[in-house]
Every structure is written in structure tokens, then in C-alpha cells.
Amino acid sequence: MFPQHIGRYEVKRELGRGGMATVFVAFDPEFERDVAVKVLPREFLHDPHFRARFKREAKIIAALEHPAIVPVYDYGEDDGQPFIVMRLMPGGSLADRLKQGPLTLPEVARIFTRLAGALDEAHRRGIIHRDLKPGNILLDSQGDPYVSDFGMAKLTQGASSFSGSTIMGTPAYMSPEQAKGEHDLDGRSDIYALGAILFEMLTGKLPYDADSPMGIAVKHITEPVPRILDVKPDLPPGCEDVIRQAMAKDRRDRFPTANALVTTLQTLTAPSTHPQPSRPQPEPATQKAKPEVHETPTQPLGCSFVLRWALASAAGGAVGLPILALVIAVGAATAQAAGNVAATAIISAIGMGIALSLFGGAVAFAQWFVLRRLIPAVRWWVPASAAVWASIGLVLGFIVGIGAGRG
């Protein structure tokens, strides 16, 4: 049975029960609204340690006053039992939402963007949450997240954390330094917990699993950072890097702030990060490219073509004839000085081949230059024609040389 009243608040039902507190849904007649009332169980009332921690939680939340931290409305005692009155979160917790399955990357980025500001504000004020987990992230009616339950929070300066030598936190999300019982913690322990929560939000699974809470804590200390793509391969590859840095064993390797983590996470949700396969789009009829006409002849090869061909051949011959005459003259003089039939034939063949090759090349070049726009394939006539004329020259020169040597 739960109490009918806590202070002026009319208790409706129990909302949840944890190791160090019970939360009720109650009605506030003063403001005519439903609220959440968190009370310290009576079995802890005899211990001043728990009473002081409970009161300190209310003061921490009230001092932070951040839009993404569940606000405190009231604090008091009823029949010696301390209670904290907070805003009621009708959307339940992130843990409740994860029972339906993993979230999409854009959903995760939206939630983390809001939470990051709250955590960085707490860290700037020297407050470490130390127990971040989906159950301590509450959702309002619009699905906006809020950080709650600063009962295990540690002040990095000034007051004691009230924890003594006890290891504080939830093993599934506990940083290695927390699991080791270290006391010089800072905000990067919360960054580690964010990395573990991120892993669970994207995959629906915890990063480490074991048969006991102690076994899980040991894995946080000793085992490598889990590869999220092994669990959910369809995630962007960059998710692996975010998890690896957020859950680094050495806190010096982690993101320095929650906002730094979120900034990297947001880049993975940008459209350019997930390029979609492009599909060929039909070209509009008005923009269809016209085929270029230079690949095939589109003009009749009539008198115009023959006239150009003749003119080109004449021009090439006019250039090539002097060269032909000069090379033949040099070759003949060299052949006559050879003194025997074989040498004369060979020298004559080489000279005639060179002469006719140059002549044929000159004619072919002139033909190609004049007709290149009409028939682009004519460009191959230059080397082909030179080779044909060279062959003819070699044969003729050899015959002439033999005749001259015998004469």
C-alpha cells in the first residue's frame, strides 16, 4: 500500500521503485496539476548519509535549471520522510522506448542533441551524473528527453560525493574508471555512459553482456570497445568511430564534451553521408543531344569531292616532285660509285624507296589536309600512302640499280 498523501500532494499511484527511492504520481491541489513525488524509503531514514544525499540531489537539480533536466518544484518532509516534487514526464523513460526496438540514427541524434547541452552544463558546474542510463532519461508528451536522477551525482570540487569507497553507477553503462573505484572522476565518465547508451539505442543491445553485474563491470575494464557494425551492419561506417571514441578505455581519448560527440554524430545524419544509388533519368525531349555529323559522311561524294582530291594531289605533287628528284639524283650518284651490281642495286633501292616515300607522304598529307572535315578517316592515308610509295620505290630502285650495275 502507498500513502494517500505526501505533504499537500494527493497520491494517485506508484510510478516506479528503485534501490534508494520510490516515485509516485500525485496531484498538486495548489496548482491543480499532476506531479512526480520522489520519496526516500523509510528503511533509510535512520541513516543520515542517505538523508543528506537525498536533499543534496534536490539542491543540485534546482541549481542547474536547464531545459533538458527534469525540474524540481518542491522539497520537504512528511512525518520525517523527505520527498522531492518534480515535473511529471508522461512519455515514460528511454528504457521504456527501447523495449519497442532500436531507434533510427536521426532519432538518436535528436535526443542526444538535447541531452548534450544538459550534461555539458552540469559538467561546467563541476557536477558528474555518474549514473546515466536509459532509465534515467525521461520523455515528455512530445518525446523530448530530460536527464533525471542526480542521486549519485559527484561534485568535482567542494563537497563530498557521499559515496565513500563504494563503486557508484549501473554496471551496464559504467566507465572503466568507475568500475575500478577511482575517485578522481570527471565529465568524461558521463561521456563513456553516453557511448554505451548510443550503442544500445542504435542496436537494441548492450555493448557488454555477462552473467553478473560484476562480470559486466570487468568487461568494461578489460575487453575492447565492441564493434557496432558487427551487430548492425547497415549503420553508416562512421558510427564505429563515434562509439570507439566515446567508449575509449583511456578517458583522455574520449570526446572532451557531450556536444563534441553530438557534432560528430550529426555529420552521420547529413544527406551527403548516405549517398543513394543514382538512377538514370530519361532526358527531356527538348534537351536530347543531336548526333555529331563528323563521324559519318553526310555529304554526297560528287564533283566537289573529285575536284578537291585532284587539287590536293596536285599541290602535294608540286611539293613532293623536287624532293623526289633530289633524292633520286643523290641515290644515282652514290650507286654509280659503288662499283658492283649488288651494291648498286641496294643503294638504288634505298634511294628510290626514300624518294617515293617522301613524295607519297607529301601528296597524302595534302589530300588529308583538304578533305579532313569531309572524311576524317583520310588521316590514315598519310602513313599508309607513304608506306605504299616506299614499297614501290624499293622494288623499282632495286630493278633500276641492277640494270645500271650491269650496264
By annotation, the residues acting in catalysis are: 131
Burial class from Cβ neighbours inside 10 Å (0-12, 13-18, 19+) for residue 272 reads exposed
Residues contacting 218, CB < 8 A, separation 6+: 179, 210
The H or E element that residue 401 is part of is helix 381-406
d(CA 79, CA 99): 38
Q: Helices 381-406 and 341-371: crossing angle, nearest 10°?
A: 160
81-87 and 5-6 strand pairing? unpaired
What letters, b where the CB count within 10 A reaches 16 and e where it falls short, cover 51-65?
Answer: bebbebbbebbeebe
Residue 185: other Cβ atoms inside 10 A: 19
Burial class from Cβ neighbours inside 10 Å (0-12, 13-18, 19+) for residue 117 reads middle
d(CA 361, CA 390): 9
